[in-house]
Structure 1
Amino acid sequence: MSTSSHELRALRQEITQQLSQLDARLRDVEEQLSGGGNDARENSHDAGVTQLKLPADSNAQDLWALNELGKRYDQPAVMFAGTAETEGGPVMWQYGRFSEHLKNTDAFAVSPALEAIAHPIRLTLLLAIINGTTTSAKLAELEQVGTSGQVYHHLSQLNAAGWIRSVKRGQWEVPASKIIPLLTIILAAQE
């Protein structure tokens, strides 16, 4: 029995997602074991202030994600989750960390990944790849991305930061584990 490349890609994405989810769960368990539990209300900033950004057709009782987050953890936490359809198939992702860990992030460690997508041409290339334009030649044909040399430079920057990877010579993909984080950053930037 032969397995198609589409089936292999889907299987690879599923395995990658499962490994990433297990990794995130392991980090959370390690943080719980080493950090102890703090009361979220005692350590929160402006604990009585809540800012809601809900769709127009929502009501205040639609805070199911926050309600579940509060039930699951005994200390402040940040998480994101989402689904997306891509050329390679559906992507589902969730990730979370304790707020205290995030507040103590080494800015120099995360800056390269953020810098890579802060450039409008690189962000344009990332979105084009997610939407199915995956070859260097087709990406170079996009409006406002510059010369093919400039496109290769931007692709190299995205690749070095881990936002894309080479599938084969001249063809790129955004790893499944990066799609929802990228869309989350875009969502946060729109607020």
Structure 2
Amino acid sequence: MTNQDRLSALEGRVRALEARLEHADEEAAVPTGPGREVLWALDGLHARVDDPGAVMLVGSVRLPDGRHAEWQQGAGTDELVGGDWTASSDALAALGHPLRLRLLQQVLAGVDTVHELTQIDGVGTSGQVYHHLRQLSSTGWLHALGGGRYEVPVARVVPLLVLVLGAGR
């Protein structure tokens, strides 16, 4: 084997090692386990969507009553910015009252009857509670099960939690 052949073989091995190292760096950047990078979902969105971008809501939640809410929705920036925002005004307005948010939080936590809700300090009379429950039900944030029982529909759990999370920023 000539020096040139040995040099070519060595260069090939170095290229192969560099390629493996590059691939190892990419694998290390993929978040796994409990200590994963906080922005892993954003990194995935960047990899899939071109400018001007998109918004995505995603969540997986196990509720106290055993239901499992897995939900994902996304839309392009142009679609969102150019859309009719007023179509969401009733649903957002229903969340604009502190007592309604408190009632939603309690129902989501497993308190599901009007009787139980009226026992919570500061929620008011049963008439006031029913008034707020009607507002939440008419906009889809709550679903009446009958017998004075309510639940947050599974399709609304993640959007509700996303709104609460986003409002706290």
C-alpha distance in 2, partners of 1:91/1:152?
A: 26
Structure 2 residue aligned with 1:84, among 61, 80, 90? Answer: 61
2:39 corresponds in structure 1 to: 63
Q: In the alignment, residue 84 of structure 1 is paired with which amino acid?
A: V
Structure 2 residue corresponding to 1:132, chosen from 105, 110, 114: 110
Runs of 5+ in structure 1 lacking a partner? 1-57
Q: Alignment partner for residue 100 of structure 1, among 63, 78, 81? A: 78
Aligned to 2:133: 155
Same amino acid, percent of matched pairs: 41
Q: CA deviation at 1:140?
A: 1.2
Partner of 1:176: 154
- The number of residues matched between the two structures is 134
Structure of greater Rg: 2
Separation in structure 2 between the aligned mates of residue 109 and residue 187 of structure 1, nearest angstrom:
22
Query: What SS does structure 1 have at the residue aligned with 2:95?
Result: helix
1:128-165, Cα deviation, whole Å (9 max, x unpaired) = 00100001111111112111100000000000000011
Q: Distance in 1 between matches of 2:39 and 2:160?
A: 23
How far off its partner does 1:174 sit? 0.4
1:26-45 aligned at under 5 Å gives the runs: none
TM-score, normalised to structure 1, is 0.65
Instruction: Check if 1:142 corresponds to 2:120.
Output: yes
Structure 1 pair 129–69 and aligned structure 2 pair: CA distance change class (3 A): same
User: For 1:144 and 1:150, how far apart are their aligned partners in 2?
Assistant: 11
TM-score, normalised to structure 2, is 0.73
> Gaps (5+ residues) in structure 2?
1-34
Q: Secondary structure at the match of 1:137?
A: helix
Equivalent-residue separation in structure 1 for 2:38 and 2:148 (angstroms): 45
Query: Offset at 1:69?
Result: 0.9
Distance in structure 2 (CA, Å) of the matches to 1:159 and 1:104? 28
